[in-house]
C-alpha cells in the first residue's frame, strides 16, 4: 500500500520550471548591477551609444580597434577616460566651450556637503534614537514620534527642494551673521546671496535624519535589558549607562546606519540640484554656489553631447565607486563590530 511512487512527470516539470524561473529572476538583480557598472564604464571610455558594441554596426568599435594602426581611418572615438585620465579627478575646470573637463569641483562639493550633513545629522539622529528608546515619554507617544520621523524619509526629495527654495531668504538671513562675525574664516568667506553649499548640506541633514534615527533606534532596542539593569545596579545614572554601556553595545548599528546615510547623501540629487546653485567654480566658502556630482549630472546631462556626455559618465562612475565603497564599508563595519548576544 505504501510503496514508493514517483511524482507524475507533469508535476516534476512544473516544479523544475518554477525553481529555474526563480533562479533566473534572482540573477536579474546581479545582471542589473553588472549592467550598470558596464554601461557607465563603457560610456566613460567610448563616445557613441551602446549599439556600437555590435560588430555589424556602421560605427562599430571593433572595426575601429581592428584598424588601430591604419593611418586612413580615425580608429575609435575615445571618451573621457582616455582623454583626461586620472587628471580628471584633480582638475577644477569644467569648460564646455573648450571641451576641457575636470571634476574636482563637483567631487569636492559632493564630499563637503555629505561630510557637513553627516556631522550635523549623526548627533541629532542618535540623540533622537536615544530619546525614543528611553522611557521619557509613554510608549504610545514614542511610537508615534518614531513613525513621524520615518514619514520624513518618505517625503520626495524634489518636494524638500521646492520647500528649501521657498525658504531661501530665511536661510540666507540665518547665514549672514556667520559671515559678518566669522568672515575671516575661509569657509564663511563670501557673503551668502543665493543658493549655496551650506543650504544643500542642511537639506541633506533633513534627509539623513530619518535613516540614522531608524537604524540607531533598532540597534539600541536590540541591546539586552540585562546590560542596562546591570549598569543601574552598580549605581550608574541614566546617562552614564547610556554612554558607557548602551552606545558601545549598539555601536555597530549606529556606525552602519551613519555609513548608509553617507551613501545616500553622496548620491542625493534633486533637492541638492535645486538649492546648491550649480556652479562649477571651485570655492572654499560654504556660502558660495557649488555643485555635486549628482547635481552636475541632473543639470548638464540633458544638453550635453559628444565628449561632454562621456565626461559626465566618467563623473557618474566616480560617484558609483564612492557610494559602492561606502556601502561595502557599512556592511563590513556592521559585521565586524556587531556584538553577539545569545
Partner 1 sequence: MTSNATNPMATTCYPPAASGLTYNPYAPRNVWNRAMNLLAALFATIAVLPLVVVTLYVLYKGGGAITPAIFTELPPAPGLSEPMGMGNAIIGTAMVTGGAALVAIPVGVGGGIYLAEVARKGWFAQSIRFGVNVLAGVPSIICGLFIYALVVNTRILWGESFSALAGSLALAVLMLPTIVKTTDEGLKLVPQELRMGALGIGASRFVTITRVVLPAAVSPIATGVVLGIARAAGETAPLIFTALFSPFWPDWASGWGLLAPTATLSVQIYNFGIMPFEPQVQLAWAASFILVVMILAANLLARWLAHFSAS
Q: Is 115 in the site for partner 1 (CB under 8 A)?
A: no
CB nearer to partner 1: pick between 47 and 290: 47
Torsional sign, CA 182, 187, 193, 197: negative
Interface mask toward partner 1 for 190-209; x: CB under 8 A: ----------------x--x
> Residue 164 in contact with residue 203, Cβ under 8 Å?
yes
- Per CB under 8 A, the list member of 64, 102, 106, 125 interacting with partner 1 is 125
Residues 179, 189: Cα–Cα separation, whole Å: 7
Name which of residues 259 to 318 contact partner 1 (CB under 8 A).
260, 263, 266-270, 273-274, 294, 297-298, 301-302, 313, 316
Residues in the chain: 342
Q: Is 254 in the site for partner 1 (CB under 8 A)?
A: no
203 sits in the region (left: phi over 0; alpha: psi -120 to 50; else beta) called: alpha
- Per CB under 8 A, the list member of 178, 238, 252, 282 interacting with partner 1 is 238
Q: Is 119 in the site for partner 1 (CB under 8 A)?
A: no
Instruction: Report the nearest approach of partner 1 to the CB of residue 125 (Å).
Output: 7
Name which of residues 72 to 111 contact partner 1 (CB under 8 A).
none
Q: Is 131 in the site for partner 1 (CB under 8 A)?
A: yes
First to last CA, the chain: 47
Q: In the chain, what is the greatest distance between 2 CA atoms, to the nearest angstrom?
A: 94
Number of residues that bind partner 1 (CB under 8 A): 95
Instruction: Report the nearest approach of partner 1 to the CB of residue 231 (Å).
Output: 7
Q: Which residue has the cell 533562479?
A: 23
CB nearer to partner 1: pick between 241 and 290: 241
Instruction: Report the nearest approach of partner 1 to the CB of residue 282 (Å).
Output: 22
Q: Is 341 in the site for partner 1 (CB under 8 A)?
A: no
Interface mask toward partner 1 for 33-72; x: CB under 8 A: x-xx--xx-xx-----xxx---------------------
Amino acid at each position: 500500500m505504501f510503496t514508493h511512487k514517483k511524482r507524475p512527470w507533469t508535476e516534476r516539470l512544473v516544479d523544475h520550471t518554477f525553481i529555474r524561473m526563480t533562479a533566473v529572476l534572482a540573477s536579474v538583480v546581479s545582471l542589473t548591477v553588472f549592467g550598470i557598472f558596464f554601461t557607465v564604464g563603457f560610456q566613460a571610455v567610448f563616445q557613441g551609444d551602446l549599439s556600437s558594441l555590435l560588430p555589424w554596426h556602421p560605427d562599430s568599435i571593433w572595426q575601429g580597434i581592428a584598424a588601430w594602426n591604419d593611418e586612413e581611418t580615425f580608429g575609435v572615438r575615445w571618451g573621457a577616460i582616455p582623454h583626461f585620465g586620472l587628471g580628471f579627478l584633480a582638475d577644477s575646470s569644467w569648460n564646455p566651450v573648450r571641451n576641457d573637463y575636470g571634476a574636482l569641483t563637483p567631487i569636492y562639493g559632493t564630499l563637503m556637503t555629505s561630510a557637513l550633513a553627516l556631522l550635523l545629522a549623526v548627533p541629532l539622529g542618535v540623540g533622537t534614537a536615544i530619546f525614543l528608546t528611553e522611557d521619557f515619554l509613554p510608549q504610545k507617544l514614542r511610537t508615534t514620534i518614531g513613525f513621524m520621523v520615518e514619514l520624513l524619509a518618505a517625503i520626495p526629495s524634489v518636494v524638500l527642494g521646492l520647500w528649501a527654495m521657498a525658504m531661501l531668504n530665511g536661510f540666507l538671513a540665518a547665514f549672514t551673521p556667520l559671515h559678518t562675525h566669522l568672515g575671516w574664516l575661509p569657509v564663511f568667506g563670501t557673503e551668502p546671496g543665493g543658493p549655496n553649499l551650506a543650504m544643500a548640506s542642511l537639506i541633506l541633514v533633513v534627509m539623513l535624519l530619518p535613516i540614522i534615527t531608524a537604524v540607531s533606534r533598532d540597534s539600541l532596542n536590540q541591546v539586552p535589558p540585562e546590560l542596562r539593569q546591570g549598569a543601574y545596579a552598580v549605581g550608574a545614572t541614566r546617562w552614564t549607562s547610556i554612554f558607557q554601556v548602551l552606545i558601545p553595545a549598539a555601536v555597530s548599528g549606529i556606525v552602519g546606519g551613519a555609513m548608509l546615510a553617507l551613501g545616500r547623501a553622496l548620491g542625493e540629487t534633486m533637492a541638492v540640484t535645486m538649492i546648491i546653485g550649480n556652479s562649477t567654480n571651485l570655492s572654499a566658502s560654504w556660502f558660495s554656489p557649488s555643485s555635486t556630482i549628482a547635481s552636475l549630472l541632473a543639470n548638464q546631462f540633458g544638453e550635453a553631447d559628444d565628449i561632454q556626455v562621456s565626461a559626465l559618465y566618467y563623473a557618474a562612475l566616480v560617484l558609483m565607486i564612492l557610494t559602492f565603497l561606502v556601502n561595502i564599508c557599512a556592511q563590513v563595519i556592521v559585521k565586524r563590530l556587531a556584538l553577539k548576544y545569545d
